[in-house]
Amino acid sequence: MNTVFDQALWAVGRGSGVVAMVLLTLSVLLGIGARSGRPVVGIPRFAVTLVHRNVSLFSLIFVVVHVVSLLFDPFAQLRLVDFFVPFLGAFKPFWLGLGTIAFDLLVVVTVTGLLRNRIGPRVFKAVHWLVYAMWPVSLVHAMGNGTNGLQPWFLVIAMLCLAAVGGALAWRLHENFVEYRNVRSQENP
Amino acid sequence: MRMHIDWTRCDGRGLCIELLPELLTRDDWGYPVGRGGSEIAIPQNLESAAHDARALCPTQALSLHG
């Protein structure tokens, strides 16, 4: 069976996955920017935090569209259990399982993010570090599981995302990452 | 309404200073200071900005009372 509806589901499933990947990348960049305590490309600090939150929520929406459309897709043969338990999939179980892991981590990070002021900054921060596992796992899932995962156009997007996050991470690890780092370290040698 | 800055939690990220520029300035190390130090009286027209500052503070260093 290959109806127009099936083809639409297939297209939505793939397209929403690619958009989610780009939004997750943007969210990671904004999150690192927010952590630096500096304005990012002219956006004030409090707004960086808010845009980071909103882009993150949009990426979760696209991930939900991605998994739900593929749940009804006859090719992907997804079941509900594959949303939450990795490596049980019928089609490419390993690469699908990476997507499941990334989805689980994204849900946990989003829920604790929304509850940040209730659970406190310490728990929030500890859980939020999982993003550094979630993001690369989702990228590998996209390349390994995606029908277009190894085609040039997607690889260009994936490499741009990787370069952007890699660059931001290098900045994150730089000793002058945090604003006022210099004056503060002079006082506390 | 009054706002209290908990210096033991504050990390000087500067969000509150952007949201309450009328009341807070940044010291030489990037930390917020009010005219009265860590206890700041919030006029009525800045109450909503104060609520935003408390909610967005990355280290939950701000509290509001009264």
Q: A64-97 pLDDT, tens per residue?
A: 999 999 999 888 889 999 999 999 998 899 999 9
Specify the pLDDT at position A1.
55
Q: Which domain holds residue A88?
A: 4-187
pTM of this structure: 0.94
For the cut 70, the answer to whether the pLDDT of residue A19 exceeds it is yes
Specify the pLDDT at position A181.
84
Quick one: tokens of A15?
A: 């397209």
Residue A184 pLDDT grade (very low, low, confident, very high; cuts 50, 70, 90): confident
Query: What's the whole-number average pLDDT of chain A?
Result: 94
Is A183–B55 a contact, with Cβ atoms under 8 angstroms apart?
no
**Domain CATH code at residue B36:** 3.30.70.20
Residue A187 pLDDT grade (very low, low, confident, very high; cuts 50, 70, 90): low
Chain B contact for A77 (CB, 8 A cutoff):
no
Give dist(CA A23, CA A37) in Å, integer.
21
Per the structure, the count of domains in chain A is: 1
Q: A139-170 pLDDT, tens per residue?
A: 999 999 998 899 999 999 999 999 999 999 99
Residue B54, helix vs strand vs coil = helix
Give dist(CA A146, CA B24) in Å, integer.
50
Question: Picking from A8-22, A111-125, A171-185, which range would have the lowest pLDDT averaged per residue?
Answer: A171-185
Q: Which domain holds residue B25?
A: 2-65
ipTM higher than 0.90? yes
Quick one: tokens of A56?
A: 């993150």
Per the structure, the count of domains in chain B is: 1
Write out the DSSP string of chain A.
---HHHHHHHHHHHHHHHHHHHHHHHHHHHHHHHHHTS-BTTB-HHHHHHHHHHHHHHHHHHHHHHHHHHHT-TTT---THHHHSTT--SSSHHHHHHHHHHHHHHHHHHHHHHTHHHH-HHHHHHHHTTHHHHHHHHHHHHHHH-TTTTSHHHHHHHHHHHHHHHHHHHHHHSTT-STTHHHHHHH--
**Preferred mutation among A32, A38, A45, A50 to probe B, highest tally of B CBs within 10 A:** A45
Is A46–B59 a contact, with Cβ atoms under 8 angstroms apart?
no
Residue A6 pLDDT grade (very low, low, confident, very high; cuts 50, 70, 90): confident
Is A46–B55 a contact, with Cβ atoms under 8 angstroms apart?
no
Q: What percent of chain A has pLDDT over 90?
A: 84
Residue in the block written with tokens 């990390």: B11
Q: How far is B7 from chain A (nearest CA, A)?
A: 15
Residue B17 pLDDT grade (very low, low, confident, very high; cuts 50, 70, 90): very high
Query: What's the whole-number average pLDDT of chain B?
Result: 95
Chain A contact for B60 (CB, 8 A cutoff):
yes
Strands B39-41 and B2-5: antiparallel
